[in-house]
Amino acid sequence: MFKKTFILLGMCILFICLNSTPTSAQKVRGVTETEILVGQWGPQTGPAAGWGAVARGTDLFFKIVNEEGGIHGRKIRYFLRDDSYQPAKTKAIAKEFVEDIGVFAVIGGVGVATGMSVRDYLMENNVFWFGPVTGVYEWIRPFQKYLFAMYPLYDDEIYTLTGYFYEKLGLKKIAVFYQNDSYGKQGLLGVERYLKEKNSTPVAKVSAEVTDRDLSTHALKLKESGAEASIMITNPSHAALILMECAKIGFKPQWGTSNTLSDAPFMLQITKGLWAGMIHSNFIEDPDSNHPLMIKYRGYHKKYAPQERWGVFYIAGILFAEPFVEGLKRVGKNLNTETLMKALEELKDFRGIGGPITYSPNDRQGAKHLWYGKVRPDGKIEKITDWIKVTKW
């Protein structure tokens, strides 16, 4: 009797072991013994195509990581898709990433409307999302367990820029040209918040839809406001259009803008030189700097992507991926969404090619520092501040 019971017990234990092993080995979506599957969408075509370089820069960075041996025996397998800055396409891509490919994480992703169209879907499916390429509150409020924001907040960025115009340059009459979405509106909020503290308001608030192609009336409204300075929070195509329309009617204020348009050589090209004199913030070291990592990345760029222009938008794709990879390294071999989350929550003052990045269990806004500069006619940036903390909490 004892022998029979012992045999049955042994068979039960063997059955449990055999059936539990495959499940535990396969339970982490997008992670195998040799690969980590990561996806990103970005506008390779359409009105925001200039920002499409971000996703291609990430591709370069992952190639570097893989060439250097990967992460704890795993290589990153990267999937890049073009959403043309259209939320409907972003939704289809997110569904492909989750249900067809089965990615472990999404990284980057340009656009507020595009990102918001899939944020809840990604979170409901426990997909790790690192570094949406926009600086809006929607990524951190309400708190999302598996969403780590990287981009500096537009509100704080533009608040600080407005203060520079008002206090340092003595320009009190400030107008705003903004994209009519959360991106533009949160930049506008920064202007209004600063001016309210000075018992003032913008002399004009002129909005444009992404689909607008004639900005002549917008330019006229800005001119009629009598603005001494004008701040734009918009996409590259509209930035070029509004400058050209303003030039036609002789409106030449001091212009300022977000770091979203900080690729000076590119912007000089598409504005036919009108970008010279623009003041904007910067979230990354100068592309031609002697920063050790920048030198390293330039070398790999020549090897893997010589056809790509070495500019801010492209390099941003590296910047947004650096802390993500650092988190993967800190996790070790036991990678899943929980272990990566905990590793990133312990990241403090991490430095890649941008400002310091810090997270905590209660703070998902990683970047809080920027520096400001003025565009020279040759495309170089004249630094007017050092790195400064614009988000105070």
pLDDT in tens, 337-357: 999 999 999 999 999 999 999
pLDDT at 203: 98
pLDDT at 17: 44
pLDDT in tens, 50-78: 999 999 999 999 999 999 999 999 999 99
pLDDT at 26: 53
Note the Cα 117 to chain centre separation in Å. 16
Same-fold call for 35-152+287-362 versus 154-282+373-389: yes
Helix (H) or strand (E) holding 191: helix 182-197
Please say whether the structural domain 154-282+373-389 has been given the CATH code 3.40.50.10490: no
State the residue for tokens 């988000």.
391
CATH code, residues 35-152+287-362: 3.40.50.2300
pLDDT in tens, 224-245: 999 999 999 999 999 999 999 9
Distances (CA, A) of 386 to 8, 158, 170, 283: 73, 16, 20, 11
Q: Are 104 and 31 in contact (CB under 8 A)?
A: yes
| pLDDT tier, 27 (very low <50, low <70, confident <90, very high otherwise) | confident
Whole-angstrom Cα distance, residue 266 to residue 309?
9
Residue ranges per structural domain of the chain: 35-152+287-362, 154-282+373-389
Q: What is the mean pLDDT of residues 39-47?
A: 96
